[in-house]
Amino acid sequence: MNPAEKISDAELEILKVLWANSTPLSERQIIDALNDDNNWHRATIQTLLRRLCDKGVVEKVKQEIFYYSARVTEDEYARERTSDLLNKVYGGSAKNLVSAMLGSNILSEKDIEDLGDYWKKRKTEK
């Protein structure tokens, strides 16, 4: 399964709702959470949930009603997307990715400092 290539922006919005909750959610709970920011129809959300289930990234469990939960964690999804970006756009070169981030001012001074601390710590652990 490669969720990075399969999950649309709309499907990602549903995953974010599921990730934000520690327990499975009913369709109604998902609709209510999404309609705070979107004006999606129930049928649209049902279609997106079905697609996510078909892709294996959301699980649907029937109790008194259907409940949905993410089968992929937010961290797993982020790692997969980052790996996909690294390979597709930067030819697998992490150096080129970091250079692009530094060159476009995406990283704050604090981010750069934290990354430096991370690398120093990582070097001493090896």
State the pLDDT at residue 103: 87
The number of residues in the chain equals 126
Does the pLDDT at position 75 exceed 90?
Answer: yes
Cβ-count burial of 26 within 10 angstroms (0-12 exposed, 13-18 middle, 19+ buried)?
middle
Q: By three-state DSSP, how is residue 63 classified?
A: coil
Mean residue pLDDT across the chain: 90
- Token pair, residue 16, equals 């974010």
Q: Can you give the pLDDT at residue 5? A: 54
- The string of pLDDT tens digits covering residues 38-68 is 888 999 999 999 999 999 999 999 988 999 9
pLDDT more than 90, % of the chain: 66
Instruction: Say how far apart CA 33 and CA 20 lie, in whole Å.
Output: 10
For the entire predicted model, the pTM comes to 0.75
Domains of the chain (ranges; CATH) run: 3-70 (1.10.10.10), 93-126 (no CATH)
